Structure 1
């Protein structure tokens, strides 16, 4: 028995040595030098094989030597304050590179008022976030997506109801001027979209946003008293010169309630009520036998155990977004076209509430000459909010008032009786009592032109005209709904005396008669703006002069 063991041991040693030789042949050494854009050697630069933990750092002279697997294809060079570079290895064993200074900090251009400035030149309180960061967040709308990304700003989402989830934004946090009370608009910042004040932040498709800037102090003063609580500047995307590019994005979300109240069952409720009544020396509503039957569930007809919140609220609901856009251009002309669709469902088990949005955005930049450029921008939205006749606050609030010893549904499936005013939330959350259909049709047009006179270097003359129309319609149809009341004298009982079936009396509750109401409103705003900007650099010095005239006609 020893011989096979010795043979096996000898073979293992031979395999180990052979494997080591194969491994050694699969390695190769890469050497090189890393310098900055001024030609100086860079010590401490990280050199890593892409997708692995194999790496090294350059020495004091910027040199490095790294053993890499034979199948390694890319090296990644990185250093704080320098632009990361990824280099193809190929068949080379010597790779020297030059790292460029990262300029996305102070050289970044940020929208400020009616113009833009480099970040290094801004002295006011301005924060910004790119559209890519906003698009990466699966939030209901843009106002929720900027939460936590604007230092000093407070974002409060007060409702999760479909179509009502636009957040309240306090640009200056708790020091924001005014008392919100029941009107958040008092403390709301001024929203400026592509230079047009007063447009809605919640309507914009996050995919169409290039950047968002928030102005807090004197940098917002150019907009006057309407900017007392700050300004949110939104810049939407434009086309990129080159071959046409098509992009499609789809998002499907599944949402659950974060926190729901833990409700008591019928047995516990009857026990607590009986203990209180005993303490107060009042007649008991439920006997010990009743409490026993509430716990056992043996007699659901006369001793129900209703979970009103559980019968109203589903475990999860869905939301979805679609966007398709394409852009391109040549010879200075660029275009960007985007189509979007959003659907949000409520979290009621008896589904009724729904919010849909269809949006389109088209932008065309067309140069006429070297010194004259024009732009046409259109945005359109169709927002459709569909609700039951009762508001979400009333429906959910009623579910927290009702007791588990009352019937949400009868054992045979019909909705149970109400306590007052016909309010049974498992019915009022449906369309049994009618519907509230709200639609808004929003059209926004902007025409602009820029003149850069060749005889005056640094001077630009800008003009724009915007025309916004918002048509809002609301159709409310209300009708009585049916609840079912017991006919105890028709009850069929088993040998133990428990009800097995019973006739129920359908009764109209809620509104006394069907009624229809329609509302309509139209809001029109025209804005004309003319401004000039003179900006020149003289060595280490720069000068910037800006002036503007703006007129708004609001109907």
Structure 2
């Protein structure tokens, strides 16, 4: 069984002491070590639609280099960002290759509804559309990325208008540099393995406990002593099977590999960067395609390409051409994704039937399918997707008009298409019984044998067309540095949605999503000490009513470089010190998924309805108004305040601290408190909700002197947020604890468990039923979970446990405190790199067949061994067993909540580079060998699996051997 750990307080404090650095305070050399040298200082920072010298940035930003992210093997870019950036929370979305995508949150959750909390993704200045696996950001590979920058405050995001209140994630891909041709090749070969596979009791223990559950329910037992002996001794595997279904379907390891080839170079006229990348990962399923030609092995492959070309067409005119793409293919037996397979594995008892009957047919019955039969004999499914990102930008220097003036125009065309190939069939399965003469009796077949049938399907599709134009001005006059930008952006996104029932089609999917945005930014610096910036966006969105589509989003920030003042100029402790602050208004128009009746909520819609006439109640179709139109619906708005300080101390120690307060309002909520239901109309959702989020980001870095043989760095980040619902227009509740207002966003609401009913409780209940509250319609027995009764007026007991007894329990699923620790060293040819992540302040829930014994005809896990019985009443930590779907014990309650805190080693790499003299002999600039591991271990308080993903496809760890050569 997996060991459990308590995260020591001293470890949390230690991780908080060392921190990852925000982009704005990278004033010295970067701490990252590669096989050649330490990267130079970050001289300029991408602040969105432009760059600014790092020391002059007054916004809240965090940056990570693509070269750092390369030290971790992942199929998805988002999974490389754990613990990397202050203010960025990354939650695991599963480990299934090609089907699992993490969620990113900038400074936590700021509005109601998870769909409205995603940041805006920008790749090389162009919006990256799509959600989940179709998000082009997630499909990028670290080898093509220069930096990823997270914009966190209004000063940085206001120019993105009504789309940036949840933060912005900027990606800058690598550009060609003048010089001779440089070629780099890297390969990794290794394997995946499940960190934890769910454990269930064997057939003997299952049978013993099931008999106990039947007895508890007053029903006759199913298994005789002879049955139990056969299960325990394994003497009758046909009629008394003991099948570990996970072992039948999964293998212990699965191969992975990657290949990356990069070209770069150029001269003062043409510079180019070319990247080719291939990643393959075989799934954890056994090779069922090798066993049956009409099945398939599980595998995933992704191929990325990128060409970035910079050309000086004339002395003043330059062009940037970028084209990139990703091609993905995944194969699986049984279905496109693995969810149904793992759901069956978690439900199927070990003694339900053997994998194969004596005559070679598949075991099974009408209640349960056979997982092995499903994998071998239901066909195979293939997903194919392609993403193409292309852009062309022309820039003209207009020094003849004004020195430092330039103009640019650009166009970007992006496309995503996903298709599926369904090759399906059916197979018969048979249950068996022993005849009087000891022979085998086969039941009629469940299902029938069919031939393989194919269908080609469109699973998802979208395309975007983006136009941009810029007017930029940069000038230094004496001690005055001025930069200004005017920008216009227009984008059209057409989402076609699936052409079948595999997922929910996008509402109004054929209508293009249209945004127009004008933005301006003015930055002023005096004497490299006094900094000021004013920015604004003016954006329009087509989902709102005419006359309500455009909004103005201003922001301003100031900074003061105190280390430039005379009173600190000779200070030997403080090398750099900057104070900064920002305030502004930003918006979020991603509100369709948060409860609007339709994409165009400002228009009335009609449907359903009808009347009945005559004595026969003959139905006559008609139309009725759906939710009333809301012509005033608008985007969410947020007033955002940020105060920060950046410092470099003792030359090698960098510090950055940000404190923020975000007031979100005009959140779309149901009008339950303002319009009564007895009005007889379906009321629209209104912009009435309010929320607040406050917290801080801390980032620290220590970088050892680079001239020594032994070089090392330690950097860390510490992020904390605390949000709450301020107003939610909620319906009146009998129990005031049921209101969301005043609680954290996403606060779980459930029953509070206060132990188990004792034999004395039940005896008292029989004497006076009013003394022991009932729960729903369930008959309460000793060993059932007891809940706190607060459902009466003013929170007083009313003798009934029902929905009114719920209260805030536990914490939301997103940790509100996150820490990252990145450290490494280099000694001569050896180098190492480690990334740890720690989180706390979140709660996980144990539910379904994995934890709730015998529910839904499921099996039983070891968590139930310490169940309540009259003999174990004093020590039990699990309710009495029941063969029924118990309405009392499996309520959403504190009993099934666990602390979701953990510390994880997200990635580790150890490498060795051949001495220069030796590599020169083989005419190579660099030769480096390395070993890399991802998700190597977890210290947590959940012994039943990974606290990030307790169900479905197992969380995997990856170990690879690699080689990198540079010409």
Q: TM-score range by the shorter chain?
A: 0.7 to 0.9
Corresponding position of 2:110 = 176
8 Å CA contact 1:350, 1:426 repeated in 2: no
SS in 1 for 2:364: coil
Answering whether residue 316 of structure 2 is matched by residue 374 of structure 1, we say no
Corresponding position of 2:241 = 304
Q: What are the residue-to-residue correspondences of 1:363-402 with 2, within 5 Å?
A: 363-390=308-335, 391-402=337-348
Change (3 A) 1:414 1:505: farther
Change (3 A) 1:83 1:505: closer
Within the candidate set 112, 119, 137, 2:72 is matched to 137
The alpha-carbon deviation at position 280 of structure 1 amounts to 4.7
SS in 2 for 1:400: helix
Within the candidate set 317, 334, 355, 2:254 is matched to 317
Task: Provide the C-alpha distance between the structure 2 equivalents of 1:198 and 1:305, rounded to a whole number of angstroms.
Answer: 50
Q: What are the residue-to-residue correspondences of 1:109-148 with 2, within 5 Å?
A: 109-148=44-83
Change (3 A) 1:301 1:202: same
The alpha-carbon deviation at position 273 of structure 1 amounts to 2.1
Change (3 A) 1:413 1:208: farther
Task: Provide the C-alpha distance between the structure 1 equivalents of 2:67 and 2:55, rounded to a whole number of angstroms.
Answer: 22
The alpha-carbon deviation at position 309 of structure 1 amounts to 2.3
Within the candidate set 300, 304, 308, 1:359 is matched to 304
Within the candidate set 405, 409, 413, 1:463 is matched to 409
Answering whether residue 273 of structure 2 is matched by residue 343 of structure 1, we say no
Corresponding position of 1:22 = none
8 Å CA contact 1:408, 1:426 repeated in 2: no
The alpha-carbon deviation at position 508 of structure 1 amounts to 6.0
The alpha-carbon deviation at position 304 of structure 1 amounts to 1.0
8 Å CA contact 1:421, 1:509 repeated in 2: no
Within the candidate set 518, 521, 533, 2:456 is matched to 518
Corresponding position of 2:147 = 211
8 Å CA contact 2:362, 2:430 repeated in 1: yes
SS in 2 for 1:202: helix
Corresponding position of 2:489 = 550
8 Å CA contact 2:325, 2:386 repeated in 1: yes
Within the candidate set 90, 103, 122, 1:155 is matched to 90
8 Å CA contact 2:190, 2:257 repeated in 1: yes
Change (3 A) 1:416 1:406: farther
Answering whether residue 158 of structure 2 is matched by residue 221 of structure 1, we say yes
SS in 1 for 2:328: strand
8 Å CA contact 2:363, 2:430 repeated in 1: yes
Answering whether residue 445 of structure 2 is matched by residue 445 of structure 1, we say no
Q: Deviations over 1:417-446 (max 9, x none)?
A: 334466222232x25212332212322221
The alpha-carbon deviation at position 487 of structure 1 amounts to 6.8
Within the candidate set 480, 486, 502, 1:541 is matched to 480
Corresponding position of 1:188 = 118
The alpha-carbon deviation at position 104 of structure 1 amounts to 5.7
Change (3 A) 1:82 1:337: closer
Task: Provide the C-alpha distance between the structure 1 equivalents of 2:39 and 2:285, rounded to a whole number of angstroms.
Answer: 51
8 Å CA contact 1:132, 1:210 repeated in 2: yes
SS in 1 for 2:183: strand
Corresponding position of 1:241 = 178
Q: Deviations over 1:298-330 (max 9, x none)?
A: 111111111122222321222221111211112
The alpha-carbon deviation at position 283 of structure 1 amounts to 2.1
Q: Deviations over 1:187-232 (max 9, x none)?
A: 2211111111125111112211111001122111211212221111
Deviates more, 1:144-153 or 1:409-418: 409-418
Task: Provide the C-alpha distance between the structure 2 equivalents of 1:438 and 1:389, rounded to a whole number of angstroms.
Answer: 13
Bigger Cα Rg: 1
Change (3 A) 1:417 1:144: same
Corresponding position of 1:59 = none
Task: Provide the C-alpha distance between the structure 2 equivalents of 1:354 and 1:152, rounded to a whole number of angstroms.
Answer: 35
Structure 1 gaps, min length 5: 1-79, 85-101, 494-498
Change (3 A) 1:408 1:548: farther
Within the candidate set 189, 211, 232, 2:169 is matched to 232
Q: Deviations over 1:250-280 (max 9, x none)?
A: 1223122122222111111122223344455
The higher-RCO structure (CA 8 Å, 6+ apart) is 2
The alpha-carbon deviation at position 137 of structure 1 amounts to 1.6
Change (3 A) 1:110 1:387: same
The alpha-carbon deviation at position 528 of structure 1 amounts to 1.1
Corresponding position of 1:90 = none
The TM-score normalised by the length of structure 2 is 0.43
Q: What are the residue-to-residue correspondences of 1:238-277 with 2, within 5 Å?
A: 238-277=175-214
Structure 2 gaps, min length 5: 1-26, 32-37, 130-135, 289-296, 495-967
SS in 1 for 2:212: helix
Deviates more, 1:201-210 or 1:431-440: 431-440
SS in 2 for 1:273: helix
Q: What are the residue-to-residue correspondences of 1:484-503 with 2, within 5 Å?
A: 484-486=430-432, 488=434
Deviates more, 1:506-515 or 1:454-463: 506-515
Change (3 A) 1:276 1:178: closer
Within the candidate set 369, 386, 405, 1:423 is matched to 369
Task: Provide the C-alpha distance between the structure 1 equivalents of 2:127 and 2:436, rounded to a whole number of angstroms.
Answer: 67
SS in 2 for 1:376: strand
8 Å CA contact 2:463, 2:493 repeated in 1: yes
Task: Provide the C-alpha distance between the structure 2 equivalents of 1:399 and 1:482, rounded to a whole number of angstroms.
Answer: 19
Q: Deviations over 1:152-190 (max 9, x none)?
A: 2111122111101221111122x333411xxx4x32211
Task: Provide the C-alpha distance between the structure 1 equivalents of 2:97 and 2:30, rounded to a whole number of angstroms.
Answer: 43
Change (3 A) 1:135 1:489: same
Change (3 A) 1:348 1:461: same
SS in 2 for 1:292: helix
Task: Provide the C-alpha distance between the structure 1 equivalents of 2:471 and 2:366, rounded to a whole number of angstroms.
Answer: 66
Task: Provide the C-alpha distance between the structure 2 equivalents of 1:223 and 1:485, rounded to a whole number of angstroms.
Answer: 62
Change (3 A) 1:337 1:177: same
Change (3 A) 1:457 1:103: farther
8 Å CA contact 1:415, 1:426 repeated in 2: no
SS in 2 for 1:427: helix
The alpha-carbon deviation at position 233 of structure 1 amounts to 0.6
The alpha-carbon deviation at position 506 of structure 1 amounts to 9.4
State how many pairs are aligned: 444
8 Å CA contact 1:314, 1:348 repeated in 2: yes
Task: Provide the C-alpha distance between the structure 2 equivalents of 1:463 and 1:358, rounded to a whole number of angstroms.
Answer: 30
Task: Provide the C-alpha distance between the structure 2 equivalents of 1:419 and 1:109, rounded to a whole number of angstroms.
Answer: 66
The alpha-carbon deviation at position 369 of structure 1 amounts to 2.1
Corresponding position of 1:530 = 469
Task: Provide the C-alpha distance between the structure 2 equivalents of 1:432 and 1:334, rounded to a whole number of angstroms.
Answer: 54
SS in 2 for 1:310: helix
Task: Provide the C-alpha distance between the structure 2 equivalents of 1:187 and 1:413, rounded to a whole number of angstroms.
Answer: 56
Task: Provide the C-alpha distance between the structure 1 equivalents of 2:174 and 2:88, rounded to a whole number of angstroms.
Answer: 24
SS in 1 for 2:206: helix
The alpha-carbon deviation at position 242 of structure 1 amounts to 1.4
Change (3 A) 1:81 1:194: closer
Corresponding position of 1:61 = none
8 Å CA contact 2:428, 2:449 repeated in 1: no
What is the root-mean-square deviation of aligned Cα atoms in Å? Answer: 2.9
The TM-score normalised by the length of structure 1 is 0.73
8 Å CA contact 2:430, 2:442 repeated in 1: yes
Deviates more, 1:271-280 or 1:252-261: 271-280
The alpha-carbon deviation at position 531 of structure 1 amounts to 0.4
Task: Provide the C-alpha distance between the structure 1 equivalents of 2:47 and 2:164, rounded to a whole number of angstroms.
Answer: 13
8 Å CA contact 2:183, 2:261 repeated in 1: yes
Change (3 A) 1:413 1:232: farther
8 Å CA contact 2:72, 2:80 repeated in 1: yes
8 Å CA contact 2:301, 2:329 repeated in 1: yes
